[in-house]
Amino acid sequence: MTKREEALEYHRMGRPGKIAVVPTKPLNNQRDLALAYSPGVAEPCLEIERDPEEAYAYTAKGNLVAVVTNGTAVLGLGNIGALAGKPVMEGKANLFKQFSDLDVFDLEVGSENPDDVIKFCQLLEPTVGGINLEDIKAPDCFYIEETLRKTMKIPVFHDDQHGTAIISGAALLNGLEVVGKDIGSVIVVFSGAGAAAIATAEHYVRLGVKREHILMCDREGVIWKGRPGDMDPYKARFASETSKRTISDAFDGADVFVGLSVAGAVTPEMVAKMAPRPIIFALANPVPEILPEEVRSVRDDAIIATGRSDYPNQVNNVLGFPFIFRGALDVRATEINEEMKMAATRALALLAKEDVPDTVSSLYGLRDVSFGGDYLIPFPFDPRVLLWVAPAVAWAAVASGVARDFIDLDEYRNQLEERLGRARGIMRGLMNRAKKSPKRIVFPEGEEPKILRAASILVDEGIALPILLGDRALIEEAARRMNLSLEDIEIENPQTSPRREHYARELWKRRHRKGLSIDEAGRKLYNSNYFGSCMVAEGDADALLSGVNLHYPETIRPALEVIGAHRKAGIVSGMYMLVFEKRVIFCGDTTVNIDPTAEQVAQIAYAAARISRTMGIVPRIAMLSFSNFGSVRHPDTEKMARATQILRERDPSLVVEGEMQADTAFDMQLMERDYPFSALKEEANVLIFPNLAAGNIAYKLLNHLGGATAIGPILVGMRRPVHVLERGADVQEIVNMAAVAVVDAQARSQQGDRAPLSANGATPTIFSRL
């Protein structure tokens, strides 16, 4: 499947598009119907008629943004029309919801007349709390926004103009601090003179850059006073008194470059002419004006930012618009003024100077992230951005007199925490970590179409290095039918592999005292799961992922025989990561141990805590039973209490409590009132069950009835990373589990745990139960 076909399938699969309207009130019976519609709905209507401000109390207006376009300047596609721009607007709606919990109507206006767009937006004022203008060509976008801001009493914001200005402004402030330059003395060169460039230049002026120090370049070169030809009034603001005529001329002695134009607009020779310690913002997407490695080839003293996620200092508008609108709507601001934009810039700049929690840096596979040349602005998936930018914008609205509501900042931050929780972006964080150092993942079911499609995605996204086991001719034929490239995908046939003889000898060494002959070892290797397990054991692959067409014991048995349990674990267990909208829960053991002892339960909890930390989440462990702290005396409850004691003795730093009932683990009011001695002061996020029946039933109920996304089973306690797919897993689930396997392999590699296994390992005792 080509990238084009993949993108089309992504938008087409299931319910077409990327957004839906979800009701927030029940409609289950006649009483609900009478309240939601006639006759009950008349009451809020009358209240709003009496006082229009009551619309914010009785309708969704206060959490609703209209994303409006006429499709005249869509991404890099140009004037493709309103309807063709709809997928972009739906994507924008998705970002609003995911990052700030704002609801969106995407509205595509079928007119290129700016006055029509203005009239359309004005008529929307009773419906929405704010308007985000998107992908409207210049100079129409300036006229539209200026007119709407003068005539409407709700926030209107053209993100193409101001988003880049706000975020790059934060990077500029911090970059200048790092290089030790004064903002009032620097020379700034712009490549590009469209809406984003002009708005960014104006924002820089408000930050302290002198207008006469800005050299703006368009297709014809430097914009200078007296240049022949027509020039719109917005460009004319930046016409310079200068003898410089080309963009190359402009680079002589410049301190800062801001690229908002096209790939390749800047050469290394131009960069070489800049002042010492230059700042270079090459923001064209997907390919910047000049690549960071090209800059480094001539200037090792440069600070660089791009619009891409694979380089440091990503200037991404998602750091701005969701949180700016969140703050503006939460105080019912009548506009988004310059004070609010400036507050957003300074909040981002200040946040970058704060200590970066491990939970944030680990989302990107990094350690010890700190303020400096490679970290000027926060990461897009840093959940703290919401807690810094939205309050700063809201307070600026209050202070500048455009807010109609007042907020208590501490209480407001708590509301924001509750609104989003910490679960958003967990899989994207894992993907980002995996991309930092992709590992070799062997797929024993290499001929399976879903595995082929997942392998193609893993290569395209740079998440993993897939190894497919199977018949090469069959795999190549399947890939041809599916229009998939096999480039950078290794294929190994267990039937004919030259590694079989070596693997057979190693397997025999491990199992000959278990009754395995050398001939039987050779025959076992015709089974792809045995062969793949040997690859991992011998260091020819970093992790194994299998099970899409197999029952669980068929997948785990070869891995246990060949690889076995880690020497420090002594027991293998299976856990699931359940990702809810606002929380992440780890459940164990859900797949392996039928009736573990107290010592084994403690080990299962310890391994689950390690995985939680690996995923960037601080574990809070609840040992579950049908009793609360000895309220019922029974061997099962005493087992969980004993396991809690064992785990505390093993690792006193862990937050672990038990035994307790499941609801107690999440009811902090009950915990504080009845069990103030409990070490659990926040809701648990690691649930440890007394036996396999409880764990397996619980995670499946949470997955199917609770609406969680289940990632797993994650096999813990193995000597090497081995993970099992659920039978029938879809392509995205395979990709998710591959990312988990890569992150697991990365962690083990960092711990120096990658030498080939010796042949004297023993199969754990739980194997007899499979």
Residue listed under structure tokens 């970093």: 542
Is the distance from CB of 77 to CB of 88 less than 8 angstroms? no
Q: Is 450 a catalytic residue?
A: no
First-to-last C-alpha distance (Å) of the chain: 38
- Given 37, 58, 526, 681, which residue is catalytic? 37
Name which of 374, 351, 369 is nearest 167 in CA terms. Answer: 351
Around Cβ 146, how many Cβ atoms within 10 Å? Answer: 13
Is the distance from CB of 643 to CB of 623 less than 8 angstroms? yes
Name which of 509, 571, 512, 511 is nearest 765 in CA terms. Answer: 571
C-alpha–C-alpha distance, residues 289 and 287, integer Å: 7
Phi, then psi, of 441 in degrees rounded to 5: -110, 120
Q: Which are the contacts of 401, defined by CB distance < 8 A and separation ≥ 6? A: none
- Given 92, 181, 235, 524, which residue is catalytic? 92
Helix (H) or strand (E) holding 306: strand 303-306
| Helix, coil or strand: residue 198 | helix
Where b means 16+ CB within 10 Å and e means fewer, 229-241 reads eeeeebbeebebe
Write out the DSSP string of 458-500: HHHHTSEEEEEES-HHHHHHHHHHTT---TT-EEE-TTT-TTH
The dihedral built from the CA positions of residue 675, 677, 683 and 687, taken in this order, carries a sign that is negative
- Structure-token pair, residue 287: 């390919």
Radius of gyration of the chain from its Cα atoms, rounded to whole angstroms: 29
Q: Is 37 a catalytic residue?
A: yes
Q: Is 120 exposed, middle or buried (0-12, 13-18, 19+ CB in 10 A)?
A: middle
C-alpha–C-alpha distance, residues 338 and 149, integer Å: 12
Please give the positions annotated as active site: 37, 92
